[in-house]
Amino acid sequence: MMVLPVTNVLMPVFALLIIHHSISSLKTMRSVLAALNLLCIVLVLFILFSSGFDVNLPNNRVEQRISQTPIPAAITFAGETVPLYDREVRERLDRELTNVTHQHSSTIRVMKLVQRYLPVIEDLLRRNGIPDDFKYLAIAESGLENVTSSKGAKGVWQFMDATATQYGLEISNEVDERLHLEKSTIAACSYLRSAYQRFGSWTMAAAAYNRGSAGMSEHTAEQQENSFYNLYLNSETSRYIFRILAFKQVLSNSQDYGYYFTSEDFYPATATKLVQVTNISDIATFARSYNTNYKTIKLLNPWLRSTALRGKNGKAYNVEVPL
């Protein structure tokens, strides 16, 4: 508590001077009452200033308690052990765990979207023979949202144009299947399966998803090393696997990292049915025919890029509409 010493000294003197002046000029009862009122005010001010009331300077400190982010004793990715006995590997995991833990708004956003989108991704990973841990790759890539990167990659799985078309995704003026959760997940499964066959490691397959299979092959040849954890890589790819691991650890043990939510806090999936179409002349009119609106159709089908859909060569599309 900070007290103003000069004020403490001057206030009594000031009070005495005022009292002396007032008493010497008293001629009426009104003057006496005015002097007494003034004396009371001076005494109150003196007491307040003497006690340090309201004169403390702000200390500009935020009251919080930050401690070491918990690092697991052991962790795996897709059944492959992460060598945490290696100090450098442990420090890289520590960095990403700290980032994911303390980026509160983005981590909370992911947690709330998990219930809406992960069941779809988990089912397709399982049916395509891809380990369940790759759902965390999708989270690391996009936060489960149809974002667009600075390089032009789009969707939950962040496909570039060329790679998307290579793996069978349609991109046109009216359709961008990189934004189609089911189709883009299947395409990602194909890419990852191919990368695993090439490198013989799911960890390396995940790294290749970021760096590219050709790029990872160059690194392994140049450095004569096949383990991701022993490769010298660019900063983004070097951190990539650990960001995936960090999401796995925090989302699987959320309360250990300070996140307390109930099932009611999560965003539910919308109940829908599929309508097969080959042509939609006007999406707004189509929406009204299913007792919904344009916005809802676009939100449920972000892969629809225009106000209409004219399939190529009679190609059929499944459009989600609310029940």
Q: What is the pLDDT of residue 1?
A: 44
Q: Do residues 129 and 106 both lie within one domain? A: yes
Q: What is the pLDDT of residue 28?
A: 58
Give percent of the chain above pLDDT 90. 77
Buried b (16+ CB within 10 A) or exposed e, 263-289: eeeeeeeeeeeeeeeeebeebeebbee
pLDDT in tens, 75-132: 999 999 999 999 999 999 999 999 999 999 999 999 999 999 999 999 999 999 999 9
Q: Do residues 188 and 46 both lie within one domain? A: no
Q: Do residues 168 and 314 both lie within one domain? A: no
Q: Which residue would you say has higher pLDDT here, 243 or 47?
A: 243
Q: Do residues 260 and 285 both lie within one domain? A: no
pLDDT in tens, 289-316: 999 999 999 999 999 999 999 988 889 9
Please check whether residue 65 lies inside any domain of the structure: no
Q: Do residues 214 and 302 both lie within one domain? A: no
Q: What is the mean predicted confidence (pLDDT) over 211-228?
A: 97
Q: Does the pLDDT value for residue 30 go beyond 90?
A: no
Please check whether residue 64 lies inside any domain of the structure: no
Please check whether residue 104 lies inside any domain of the structure: yes
Q: Of 265, 281, 309, which marks where a domain is finished?
A: 265
Please check whether residue 56 lies inside any domain of the structure: no
Using pLDDT thresholds of 50, 70 and 90, give the confidence band for residue 4.
very low
Please check whether residue 137 lies inside any domain of the structure: yes
Which two three-digit tokens encode residue 271?
């109940």
Q: Do residues 209 and 186 both lie within one domain? A: yes
Please check whether residue 62 lies inside any domain of the structure: no
Rounded CA separation 41/133 (Å)? 72
Q: Do residues 34 and 166 both lie within one domain? A: no
Q: What is the pLDDT of residue 210?
A: 97
Q: Does the pLDDT value for residue 37 go beyond 50?
A: yes
Q: Do residues 248 and 190 both lie within one domain? A: yes
Q: Do residues 211 and 283 both lie within one domain? A: no
pLDDT in tens, 172-217: 999 999 999 999 999 999 999 999 999 999 999 999 999 999 999 9
Residue 203 CB neighbours (<10 A): 23
Q: Do residues 223 and 167 both lie within one domain? A: yes
Q: Do residues 152 and 175 both lie within one domain? A: yes
pLDDT in tens, 55-71: 454 566 666 788 899 99
pLDDT in tens, 144-169: 999 999 999 999 999 999 999 999 99
- Residues 303, 175: contact at Cβ < 8 Å? yes
Q: Do residues 260 and 299 both lie within one domain? A: no
Q: How many domains does the chain have?
A: 3
Please check whether residue 160 lies inside any domain of the structure: yes
Q: What is the pLDDT of residue 312?
A: 80
For residue 151, the domain's CATH number is 1.10.530.10
Q: What is the pLDDT of residue 91?
A: 98
Please check whether residue 63 lies inside any domain of the structure: no
- Residues 198, 192: contact at Cβ < 8 Å? no
Q: What is the mean predicted confidence (pLDDT) over 254-262?
A: 95
Q: Does the pLDDT value for residue 269 go beyond 60?
A: yes
Residue 295's domain comprises 272-322
Rounded CA separation 71/63 (Å)? 25
Q: Does the pLDDT value for residue 5 go beyond 80?
A: no
